[in-house]
Structure 1
Amino acid sequence: MKSSIQQAARSAILVCAITFVFAAVGCTTTTRQVTDTRPVLRNSAPSTMSELRIADTALESGNFDLATSLYEKALQADPKSVPGLTGLGNTLYGVGDYTRAGVYYQRASQIEPKATPPLIGIARVAIHQRRFDDAIATYRRVLTLAPNDPLACAGLGAALDLSGDHAHAQALLREALIANPGDPMLSVNLGLSLTLGGDPRQGANVLLDVTRFPAAPPQARQNLALAYGLLGNDDAAAAILSRDLPKASVQDNLRFYELQRGRDAQTGQPPKSVAVSMVATPKVQTASVK
């Protein structure tokens, strides 16, 4: 039977946008994921480049209305602009319109089949639609085009975890960290995967390496608090959660940790769950990146 953590994680990844630093990461997309345009092979018409640059900046700052307007203007001038189509897809993804986002990602991918940003968008949409096998296949296609791409590795790891293949997810993330040493996105996902996969002590060790930096994302701290909570160290968990969450949310998390520890003690089994990319659940704040 799936644990409550697994159910929460599955719900979270389908409700929140997967990510890292875009707006308030719990339920939003990462700037890195949203605006990355490598390697888009087809250049846009010169007349659209200014709109695209401003649109990218608007998207990074969370101004979805302005970003949408500018991407649409760029596409009026050049309907086959892969950066424009991908950017509009990212904007729709950022506001939770995954179906329409997928349409624009598909159009961009049809124009430039070897462009990785539209493919990453397609994979993220597949995850939100619970099509984990499709997401895995698409991320693997990206990695054939861009080996060790951290976005694709993080996304593939999350998709593997969601499909229940935790061992392969963790092996993939460890290998990706060798190729991308110190990448916080990959480290956060690995730490969360270990924590939810039944090894919160090892997960905490990984997450401590990320949270020791002042600029560490909130998700890293929230995931570390989850690890401490599952280990029974509520004082440490509360101190960490208090940096980013209101008192009521901190108490909700602590009660959840206590409930889960009790269930695990009764069953004698470690918590089984999935790592999700920079995602936060309503009660257990967790995060990973895809």
Structure 2
Amino acid sequence: MKPADAFLHQARRIALTGCAVSLLAAAAGCTTTTRQVSETRPVMRNSAPSAMSELRIADTALDSGNVELATTLYEKSVQADPKSVPGLTGLGNTLYAVGDFTRAGVYYQKASAIEPNATAPLIGIARVAIHQRRFDDAIATYRRVLALTPNDPLASAGLGAALDLKGDHAGAQAALRQALKTNPGDPLLCVNLGLSLILGGNPREGANVLLDVTRFPAAPPQARQNLALAYGLLGNTEAAAEILARDLPKASVKDNLRYYEIQRARLAQPGAGDVAMVPAPARAAAPAVKAAAVPGAQVQAVSLR
């Protein structure tokens, strides 16, 4: 073989070898890519919210005052499952929030019939009974809840409110103090205990209890209003007016101060022991019976939120 031919032959071998290496590399690259694709799981679109997540959204909406959204979501839950205890209870809560207590009671009763030991609808039933001034029914229902969940703070606060509204202040205070042993510092229990002491003719002790609640920036307005009542009954109208002005317009502040004056005069009479359970002209003291505030609710001296 001539040197030139040998050179050309060698060049062809090198070129073919290079092509083979390139093809192997390409093949290897394709093989790796194919394996990666086969091992990668497809990206799924976000699924629709579950029934439980929608109920949580509804609960949050109701707590924030968006009754319309809460109602829509609870209705959707009940349409999907007519025996949904959380959905039926939620619808009861939305009706309770707007003051339709009779219809709220219907939904609570439906939920309770499906699940007799569910405490949420039972608490709703008791709250409706209080608004309808069926205090014995409310007391019995709250005690049933406490038999199921001993020392539950919401049920204990409701029981205290029902006993106070019935006039049994000693019983209310005993129930609230017992609950505070296992729920120390619970604001709902403290607010109701403070008011119970005021209604029972001991505004000074009631004020001391309420001062422990109102010193926190996030204290509920109800605690401040009850504290103003205590100061008003003690004759400290300046302090009462200052506290009321944080939540009420001037006209309502004047109305409440006038109410306190009437109560002071009544308590000064011989034989008078308890604060009279008569309606106040503006938002004033009220036993707390639920955790979430009802938007726009106007309450009276011893009514409910």
Q: Give the TM interval when normalised to the shorter protein.
A: 0.7 to 0.9
Q: Does 1:57 align with 2:56?
A: no
Is the alpha carbon distance of 1:281 and 1:58 closer, same or farther for their aligned partners in structure 2, counting shifts above 3 Å? farther
The two structures have a TM-score, normalised by structure 2, of 0.75
Aligned counterpart, 1:150: 153
- Deviation track 1:25-45 (CA, whole Å, cap 9, x = no partner) reads xxxxxxxxxxxxxxxxxxxxx
> Is the contact made by 1:48 and 1:78 (CA closer than 8 Å) also made in structure 2?
no
Provide the C-alpha distance between the structure 2 equivalents of 1:259 and 1:238, rounded to a whole number of angstroms. 15
| 4+ residue segments displaced more than 6 Å | none
Give the unaligned 5+ runs of structure 2: 1-48, 290-305
1:13-24 → structure 2 map (5 Å cutoff): none
Provide the C-alpha distance between the structure 1 equivalents of 2:283 and 2:84, rounded to a whole number of angstroms. 40
- Deviation track 1:116-166 (CA, whole Å, cap 9, x = no partner) reads 000000101111111111111110000010000001100011111111211
Give the unaligned 5+ runs of structure 1: 1-45, 275-279
CA RMSD of aligned residues (A): 1.8
Report the secondary structure of 1:266's partner residue: coil
1:76 deviates by 0.6
Aligned counterpart, 2:273: 270
> Is the contact made by 2:255 and 2:281 (CA closer than 8 Å) also made in structure 1?
no
Number of residue pairs the alignment of both structures matches: 241
Paired residue type of 1:65: E
Paired residue type of 2:154: L
Provide the C-alpha distance between the structure 2 equivalents of 1:268 and 1:145, rounded to a whole number of angstroms. 41
Larger Rg: 2
Provide the C-alpha distance between the structure 1 equivalents of 2:153 and 2:57, rounded to a whole number of angstroms. 25
Is the alpha carbon distance of 1:88 and 1:284 closer, same or farther for their aligned partners in structure 2, counting shifts above 3 Å? closer
Provide the C-alpha distance between the structure 2 equivalents of 1:165 and 1:97, rounded to a whole number of angstroms. 28
Provide the C-alpha distance between the structure 2 equivalents of 1:260 and 1:122, rounded to a whole number of angstroms. 32
Paired residue type of 2:281: P
1:83-122 → structure 2 map (5 Å cutoff): 83-122=86-125
Provide the C-alpha distance between the structure 2 equivalents of 1:128 and 1:61, rounded to a whole number of angstroms. 22
Aligned counterpart, 1:209: 212
The two structures have a TM-score, normalised by structure 1, of 0.79
> Is the contact made by 1:177 and 1:183 (CA closer than 8 Å) also made in structure 2?
yes
